[in-house]
């Protein structure tokens, strides 16, 4: 799996690729990350990659030609066959919001070219000619696409075999189909008492069925409280049982 990142600030990625549990994916080559600076493909002494927007207004716009040259160099380096090119992804407010299903799709693919925009954005002509997918992290604006690119890389890398200590641990993540798309339950560790607060009794019981029922109940309650849309989606898929509904009804009666 190979990701090529087009960024004006490749130095931002050095600590990200060398730290944390996901570094295993990058160090082993399971997830290859190549960094490309469009300034290396710009003309003139100043290697200019941006200019003022037509029509006036604040800020600058990334120019199409340096990006096109950079993309051509990436395509040549990847030695892609015609019709089998990795998609070019632009991180943009108009894109589909990144979610677990999308991350799973990327994690099972061959990679992509990630374009990190800056300034007021990218010349629309380049977007129309070359961008295949637009992705958003949410309804807010970042100073550049680098953080969004790192978020996608991290989410994809941790799903690769052998990256996490336990290959099955991501199956218990929030939003995972193994949890019916619900939020995860609360977690506790030693000591059993901390500042007068204890650990829920079922977790100390050693009774597997009680522990799993407690965790299921907590996932339902946490999701109902914080993300009722996820609960409704699970209900529409027929994943909420009669016992689940009884618990939710009791919790509503106590409010």
* 158 in active site: yes
Total structural domains within the chain = 2
Strands 88-97 and 2-6 turn out to be unpaired
Q: Which residues contact 221 (CB under 8 A, 6 or more apart)?
A: 247, 248, 251
200 and 109 within one domain? no
Residue 134: give its domain's CATH number: 3.40.1280.10
153 and 210 within one domain? no
Q: Which residues contact 185 (CB under 8 A, 6 or more apart)?
A: 214, 215, 216, 218, 219, 222
* 212 in active site: no
241 and 116 within one domain? no
Residue 214: give its domain's CATH number: 1.10.1270.20
Instruction: Tell me the DSSP string of 238-251.
Output: T---HHHHHHHHHH
Q: Report how far residue 55's alpha carbon sits from residue 39's, in angstroms, rounded to the nearest whole number.
A: 25
* 217 in active site: no
Within a domain: 172 = no
Within a domain: 143 = yes
197 and 155 within one domain? no
Considering the candidates 77, 80, 93, 212, report the single residue annotated as catalytic: 93
54 and 113 within one domain? yes
106 and 19 within one domain? yes
143 and 18 within one domain? yes
114 and 21 within one domain? yes
Within a domain: 182 = no
217 and 106 within one domain? no
Q: Which residues contact 76 (CB under 8 A, 6 or more apart)?
A: none
At 17-33, the pLDDT tens digits run 999 999 999 999 999 99
**pLDDT by residue for the chain (255 residues), tens digit each?**
999 999 999 999 999 999 999 999 999 999 999 999 999 999 988 899 999 999 999 999 999 999 999 999 999 999 987 678 999 999 999 999 999 999 999 999 999 999 999 999 999 999 999 999 999 999 999 999 999 999 999 999 999 998 986 666 677 788 999 899 999 999 999 999 999 999 999 999 999 999 999 999 999 999 999 999 999 999 999 999 999 999 999 999 988
Q: Report how far residue 167's alpha carbon sits from residue 147's, in angstroms, rounded to the nearest whole number.
A: 26
Considering the candidates 154, 173, 184, 202, report the single residue annotated as catalytic: 173
Task: Write down the residue that tokens 């029922």 correspond to.
Answer: 213
205 and 141 within one domain? no
Q: What is the pTM of this model?
A: 0.90
**Among 140, 159, 178, which residue terminates a domain?**
159
List residues forming the annotated binding site for S-adenosyl-L-methionine: 117, 137-142
Domain ranges, residue 84: 2-159
132 and 13 within one domain? yes
CA atoms within 13 A on the CB side of 208: 0
State the angle between helix axes of 100-107 and 146-157 in degrees (0 to 180), rounded to the nearest 10. 70
Considering the candidates 10, 23, 69, 120, report the single residue annotated as catalytic: 120
CA torsion angle for 72, 73, 74, 77 (degrees, to 10)?
Answer: 130
* 120 in active site: yes
């Amino acid at each position: 799996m190979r990701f090529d990142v087009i960024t004006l600030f490749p130095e931002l990625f050095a600590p990200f690729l060398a730290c944390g549990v996901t570094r295993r994916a990058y160090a082993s080559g399971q997830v290859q990350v190549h960094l490309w600076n469009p300034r290396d493909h710009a003309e003139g002494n100043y290697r200019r990659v941006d200019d003022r927007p037509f029509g006036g207004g604040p800020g600058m716009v990334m120019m199409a030609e340096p990006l096109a040259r950079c993309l051509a160099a990436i395509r040549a380096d990847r030695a892609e066959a015609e019709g089998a090119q990795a998609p070019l992804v632009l991180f943009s407010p108009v894109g589909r919001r990144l979610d677990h299903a999308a991350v799973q799709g990327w994690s099972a693919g061959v990679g992509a070219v990630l374009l990190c925009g800056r300034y007021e954005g990218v010349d629309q002509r380049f977007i129309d000619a070359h961008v295949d997918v637009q992705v958003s992290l949410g309804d807010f604006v970042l100073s550049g696409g680098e953080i969004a690119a790192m978020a996608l890389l991290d989410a994809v890398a941790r799903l690769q075999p052998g990256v996490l200590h336990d290959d099955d641990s991501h199956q218990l993540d929030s939003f995972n189909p193994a949890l019916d798309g619900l939020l995860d339950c609360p977690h506790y560790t030693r000591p059993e008492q901390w500042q007068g607060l204890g650990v829920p009794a079922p977790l100390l019981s050693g009774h597997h069925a009680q522990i799993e029922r407690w965790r299921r109940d907590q996932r339902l309650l946490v999701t109902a409280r914080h993300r009722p849309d996820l609960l409704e989606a699970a209900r529409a898929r027929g994943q909420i049982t009669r016992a689940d509904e009884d618990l939710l009804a009791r919790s509503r009666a106590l409010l």
